[in-house]
Amino acid sequence: MIYDLSTTLAYGITFGILIMSIVYTFIRYIYSKEIFYISYCLMQSFSLLFIISYSNMFEISSVVEQIAILGASLFSIVFAVSFYEGNFFPKISNYKELIINTLLFNIVLLTAFYHYMLFEYLPYTIIYAILFISIVFNLKQGFKPTVIYVIGWSLLCFILFVMDFKTLYIQKGYMDLVLLAFAIEAILFTLSVGYKYNSLQIQSNSYEDMLLQQSRLAKSGEMIGNITHQFRQPLNNIAYILINIKKRFENKKLDEVYLEKKISQASMQLEFLSKTIDDFKGFYAPSKQKENFSVQEAINSCLTILSADFKKNNIDLEFIFNTNEDIKIYGVKNELSQVILALLSNANDALKSTEKPYIKIEVTSSNAEVIISISDNAGGIKEKNKEKVFEPYFSTKEQGSGIGLYLVKLIVEESFEGKIELVNKKEGAKFTLFFEKSFD
């Protein structure tokens, strides 16, 4: 069959739209692993096969066209169900709701029937019908990506029905309506998925924030124990200072020099307590304000919190700064402290049955990077678990939550756009963090 230039061009544009749709959804699937992307990609692949056969531009058996429609229809169901939002069946508590939902369902059937009669392509009608049901059965749940899709098709079908468009369209001899359907479908899908993608991103960010807070709360019991250890000694010292002042006063030996000395000692203890409280608060403050901050200060705040625990477990801590002590990176300071805290806490737990336990923290830098390494002599991580330790809810500890190292990786890579590496050395595990150096 020989086509004129305009028809050939119309088919060429349709082929292009489908190919772009297939590539776009496949790439989206690779990054998101969302089933609605791959199912839509496969549906459009079968649709491309259908339209190629339908065009009669190539010698393809009609059987192929039927297989293409069947495949596209099956994957259209998978896509629509995975894209569906809300309840599949309405909650009906009285006759009024039953009547309303029955009327709405009949409207869905009638509009879907007209959609098919107009465009004569079953897969797109299936998607339209299922997503239309999603809207009418879940009207109270607010705006959704499916609303864009359904309203777009519904308005188009209504306008074309009122204008008796199909009869006029055929009489004028315009391009095949099937080709028009493919173009409209691509536009509406792109708009809907764009909104859906933004919604998923918001949900993902909320989930990550929830995990971060969950991790902090999971550590709060340990933290309170550490704070108790930190507070006990300074409070005892202040008590002894007050006792000594009282005895001097009772013996009438309290002079100004001695009093100033004891006040200075008490002030130092109070300053230590205040700093400990500030460091503790830093881990639970939901601040997202990014700034240039001192790497040394972020690490020291963790050491202040954990030093009592290290002392209790006889852990020898070595903190080496092989670069400018004022070196800074850009980000949220308490998030780096959270990362360091998680790595040091894991090392602390792993070292409880180790003779002569030690932890080494080393900070170095290159022209562009700040490198923080944390190593211990706890024997390392089993090779079979090395790839799993950064997965959510995977833990080698009986009481572990399995979100600590997952959040470490998430914060380093997402918040700081850095990198984390794990290697087993002869003595134990070594975690290395890479951050972009701040020059401000």
What per-residue confidence (pLDDT) applies to 400? 47
Are 129 and 108 in contact, with CB atoms under 8 Å apart?
Answer: yes
Pairing verdict, β 429-438 and 369-376: antiparallel
What per-residue confidence (pLDDT) applies to 401? 47
Q: Which residues contact 398 (CB under 8 A, 6 or more apart)?
A: none
What per-residue confidence (pLDDT) applies to 213? 57
Q: Which residues contact 245 (CB under 8 A, 6 or more apart)?
A: 254, 259, 262
Which two three-digit tokens encode residue 346?
Answer: 């894991």
Partners of residue 331 on adjacent β-strands: 291
pTM, entire model: 0.46
Convert the pLDDT of each residue in 331-349 to its tens digit: 888 788 888 888 888 888 8
Share of the chain above pLDDT 70, in %: 70
Partners of residue 140 on adjacent β-strands: none
3 state SS for 58-72 = CCCCHHHHHHHHHHH
Among 155-164, 205-214, 368-377, whose mean pLDDT is lowest? 205-214
Among 159-173, 260-274, 279-293, whose mean pLDDT is lowest? 159-173
Convert the pLDDT of each residue in 390-438 to its tens digit: 776 556 555 444 456 777 888 888 888 899 998 888 888 999 999 999 8
Computed over every residue of the chain, the mean pLDDT equals 76
Convert the pLDDT of each residue in 22-32 to its tens digit: 888 888 888 77
Q: Higher confidence at residue 378 or residue 127?
A: 378
Convert the pLDDT of each residue in 42-90 to its tens digit: 988 998 888 888 777 777 777 888 899 899 899 988 888 887 765 666 6
Q: Higher confidence at residue 430 or residue 180?
A: 430
Convert the pLDDT of each residue in 220-234 to its tens digit: 555 565 566 567 667
Which two three-digit tokens encode residue 23?
Answer: 């590539």
Are 334 and 341 in contact, with CB atoms under 8 Å apart?
Answer: no
Mean pLDDT, range 127-134, rounded to an integer: 78
Convert the pLDDT of each residue in 83-110 to its tens digit: 776 566 666 667 776 777 677 777 777 7
What per-residue confidence (pLDDT) applies to 143? 46
- Please report which confidence band the pLDDT of residue 124 belongs to, taking 50, 70 and 90 as the band edges: confident
d(CA 149, CA 93): 29
- Please report which confidence band the pLDDT of residue 1 belongs to, taking 50, 70 and 90 as the band edges: very low
